Amino acid sequence: MGDVELTETEVPDFRGMQALNAWLAGHSAGVLLVGPDPDSPDPVMHGIVTAQDPAPGTLVARWDSVTVWVRHDPGGEAGVREPRRPVPPADALSAELPDS
């Protein structure tokens, strides 16, 4: 058997990314994203990455794990919304009504 060369890679900044995009970016960079609870039934594929360990810019061995914390926010700010109409200024109605 020959010697195995271990290469290092820089950990990207995954914070603020969609979890699936972070997972794909991690794979491209040569690191594996994992959640903080290895027994969790929820895979790290949905939500927004809020924190990570090790920190962005850290050098790690290629294919080391990076732990990410993901906020699962199904409704959140980007959920389904009803159309909203602008609220007219308080004096707008009196300005439109003719004086009697």
Q: Burial letters for 38-56: b for 16+ Cβ neighbours within 10 Å, e otherwise? A: eeeeeebeebbbeebeeee
- pLDDT, one tens digit per residue, over 5-59 is 679 999 999 999 999 999 999 999 999 999 998 777 666 778 999 999 999 999 9
Task: Report the CATH architecture of 1-36+45-73.
Answer: 2-Layer Sandwich (3.30)
pLDDT digits (tens, 9 = 90+) for 69-79: 999 865 555 55
pLDDT at 97 over 70: no
Torsion angle of the four alpha carbons 79, 46, 37, 6, in this order, in degrees rounded to the nearest 10? -150
Domain limits, the chain:
1-36+45-73
pLDDT at res. 40: 75
pLDDT number for residue 95: 57
Report, as an integer, the average pLDDT of 60-87: 75
